Amino acid sequence: MKRLICILSIVVLWPLNLSWAQLAPPNQAGVALGHWHTTVSDVEATKKFWTTLGGIPLKIDGTEVIKFPGVLIFLTKGFPSGGSFGSVTNHVGFHVPNVDGFIARLKEGGATSEYVRSVFIESYLGWAYTPDNLKVELISDNSLAVPIAGPDLQLWVIPSAMADAQAWYTKLFGGVSVPGATTRNVRVDGIPGVRLIIQNSQDPRGLTPRAVGLVNGALPVADSPLVASLINPPSPTKGRTLDHIGFEVTNLEAYCKKLEASGVKFDAPYSKARHQSFASAELTDPWGVSIELTEGLRRF
């Protein structure tokens, strides 16, 4: 019980106590959110989007990176096979003090964005879209002492996989399984730096144009092949705009050996030489989310 209280305290309080643009301290398993790795067709345009959102640009090993409280966003030049909607990593999100004002500022800066009533809940949400259609949800939190914080990640899986996905992320990364507010989703807490929600991809509301969101700046029509075919089952993340997600791990080599002993298969084993500035290992979850484990990104 004391461990549970400790983990939940970290998750709830870290955005307020964390200095601007720093990764969250790890949980007792040594894990915290580290990065989102994106494939982008226009690095400069995407860099402008994220800096308009409030991120701080830097470079890591020659790659453009945008720094937010709790997460680093890597921008790798390429041509993604699709946006985030329709993949397992349906969208990411941040908390901001005032969503409608924030959206107005984004529009002034030229970013594609909207402030609309949610198809799932009786409230308004902000949405912003990168040039390659990575959906970014913006949630109001007037208690924030910083302009933007609290990264979110929403995974969409078929209904029969929701409980297994929740258990998998809880076990591998030292999280805490929490029932969702409704039967449509469940949650994994206890991984510092991220609110991880696992959503039912077959909820009919998720296939409406409003849930799909803007594609190239406009809503798709309700009966378009795009809406009908995007999401059942959701596609793997590899090659999409949000190519993979990353967790920063303390004592990564030992952590990888522990995962291997438990039966986890790595796509790329632990290495200190794959990247110049940080150690890494790569795996894929059973639902198609590509994951990179790192050690060394915390210092950026």
pLDDT in tens, 163-178: 999 999 999 999 999 9
Scanning the chain, the segments in alpha helix (DSSP H) are 2-17, 43-53, 99-108, 162-173, 209-212, 225-229, 252-261
DSSP of 115-142, one letter per residue?
Answer: EEE-SSSSSEEEEEE-TT--EEEEEE-T
- Tell me how far apart the alpha carbons of residues 157 and 199 are, in angstroms, rounded to a whole number: 6
Averaged pLDDT, 81-105: 93
- Tell me how far apart the alpha carbons of residues 275 and 124 are, in angstroms, rounded to a whole number: 41
pLDDT for the residue 71: 97
pLDDT for the residue 232: 66
pLDDT for the residue 4: 41
Domain ranges for the chain, please list them.
Answer: 2-299
Averaged pLDDT, 46-61: 96
State what percent of residues in the chain have pLDDT above 90: 71
pLDDT tens profile 214-229:
988 899 887 776 676 6
Report which of residues 296 and 102 the model is more confident about.
296
Which pairing describes strands 242-249 and 176-179: parallel, antiparallel, or unpaired? unpaired
pLDDT at 243 over 90: yes
Its pTM stands at 0.91
pLDDT for the residue 145: 85
* Residue range 2-299, CATH number: 3.10.180.10
Phi-psi region of 31 (alpha: psi -120 to 50; beta: other; left: phi over 0): beta
pLDDT at 10 over 60: no
pLDDT at 46 over 50: yes
- Cβ atoms of 97 and 55 within 8 Å: the answer is no
